[in-house]
């Protein structure tokens, strides 16, 4: 539940909200010379990854971090005797947690090359041996080893692409009777790209607002792939709550460790991303949905 102050926070403009969030905490040192703000070219540059680590936990890009990840994975019954196809591996935190907590063999895949590099380095530092690895994949042309994995965990894998090809590739990669746990961002009604808030979200997230699937479309595709869809759950409220909690922790931590001006700019940018995202969730225009589906066992 949002406190009154948080409700006021969400009701303000993007810039005033970010200012309210950060100005009481950040006492930025003066610069010797005014410098123009340089555009951030890479979506997941080291500075942004450091902010995500502070918000959600080392190697995580999603609210809730390790606790939320293991909560998703638990129904799959993963163990040292199982192999897992992990789509949306992020910066490596998920793969490390799954191996450490459950012993499962993890092959993670990421579409962003900077995340692939960050995840690979994190796994190497964690000394997990061959139990975890991260590879690049192309959502526009998905392909995985056929009938190789016992189960799959897919964290927002579509990335603006149609669900048919990606879900078919996942299905082909699983052994007969394999389980799929998947989360995805959905829009029940098409987003209007001319809407100011939607346009801001599309710019910040580098997403096509017209390419978001509906919950029903994904459920139907899973059915056509022969899955028995056991659970379809709306995670939006949990997502918003975990996001707000992460930012509260971040603000508290900044009171003890003042960031540099450049670090502060990155934090402000990330705050703007989350402000817009959470507003669209609050208005019901975006939702996060979970599917738990079991293969038909026919291979």
Domain boundary assignment for the chain: 56-186+213-237+286-294
What number of H helices and E strands is found in the chain?
11, 7
Q: What DSSP designation does 39 have?
A: P
Q: Is the pLDDT of residue 12 over 60?
A: no
pTM here?
A: 0.86
pLDDT value, residue 102: 97
Alpha carbon distance 140, 10 (integer Å): 35
Asked if the model's pLDDT at residue 33 lies above 50, the reply is no
As given in the structure block, the two tokens for residue 149 are 């994995």
- Model pLDDT, residue 41: 63
Q: Is the model's pLDDT at 253 over the cut of 90? A: no
As a whole number of angstroms, the distance between CA 259 and CA 216 comes to 44
pLDDT digits (tens, 9 = 90+) for 180-227: 999 999 999 999 999 999 999 999 999 999 999 999 999 999 999 999
Kindly state the average pLDDT of the residues 143-156: 97
In this structure, of 3-7, 178-182, 224-228, 263-267, the range with the lowest mean pLDDT score is 3-7
Does residue 123 carry a pLDDT above 90? yes
**What average pLDDT does this structure show over 131-156?**
96
**Using CA of residue 234, residue 159, residue 295, residue 73, what is the dihedral sign?**
negative
Contacts (Cβ under 8 Å, ≥6 apart) of 182:
152, 153, 154, 155, 157, 218, 290, 291, 293
* DSSP symbol at 75: G
The residue written with tokens 């991260």 in the block is 134
Angstrom distance (rounded) from CA 165 to CA 153: 16
Q: Tell me which CATH code domain 56-186+213-237+286-294 carries.
A: 3.40.50.150
Given a contact cutoff of 8 angstroms between Cβ atoms, the answer to whether 94 and 73 are in contact is no
What's residue 297's pLDDT? Answer: 57
Mean pLDDT within 19-40: 43
Averaged pLDDT, 43-52 = 95
Radius of gyration in angstroms for the set of CA atoms belonging to the chain, rounded to a whole number: 20
CB of 216 closer than 8 Å to CB of 288: no
Angle between helices 261-282 and 196-205 (to 10 degrees): 130
Q: Are 70 and 78 within 8 A, CB to CB?
A: no
- 299 pLDDT higher than 90: no
Name the more confident of 69 and 3.
69
Residue 62 makes CB contacts below 8 A (sequence gap 6+) with 56, 68, 69, 90, 155
Weakest-pLDDT range from 16-30, 115-129, 261-275 = 16-30
């Amino acid at each position: 539940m949002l406190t009154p102050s948080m409700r006021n926070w969400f009701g303000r403009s993007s810039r005033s909200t970010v200012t309210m969030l950060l100005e009481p905490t950040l006492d930025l040192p003066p610069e010797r010379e005014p410098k123009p703000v340089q555009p951030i070219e890479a979506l997941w540059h080291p500075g942004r990854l450091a902010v995500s680590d502070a918000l959600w936990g080392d190697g995580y890009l999603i609210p809730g971090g390790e606790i939320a990840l293991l909560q998703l994975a638990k129904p799959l019954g993963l163990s040292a005797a199982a192999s897992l196809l992990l789509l949306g591996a992020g910066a490596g935190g998920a793969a490390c947690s799954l191996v450490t907590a459950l012993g499962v063999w993890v092959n993670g895949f990421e579409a962003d090359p900077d995340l692939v590099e960050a995840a690979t380095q994190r796994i190497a530092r964690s000394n997990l041996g061959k139990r975890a690895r991260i590879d690049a994949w192309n959502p526009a042309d998905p392909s995985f080893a056929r009938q190789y994995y016992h189960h799959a965990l897919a964290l927002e894998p579509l990335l603006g692409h149609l669900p048919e090809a990606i879900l078919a590739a996942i299905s082909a990669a699983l052994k007969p009777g394999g389980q799929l746990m998947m989360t995805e961002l959905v829009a029940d009604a098409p987003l209007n790209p001319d809407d100011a808030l939607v346009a801001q979200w599309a710019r910040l997230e580098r997403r096509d607002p017209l390419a978001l699937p509906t919950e029903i479309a994904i459920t139907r595709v899973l059915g056509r792939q022969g899955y028995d869809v056991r659970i379809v759950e709306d995670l939006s409220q949990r997502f918003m709550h975990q996001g707000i909690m992460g930012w509260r922790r971040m603000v508290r931590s900044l009171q003890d460790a003042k960031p540099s001006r450049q670090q502060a700019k990155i934090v402000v940018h990330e705050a703007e991303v989350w402000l817009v995202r959470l507003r669209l969730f609050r208005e019901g225009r975006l939702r996060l949905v979970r599917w738990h589906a079991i293969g038909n066992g026919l291979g």
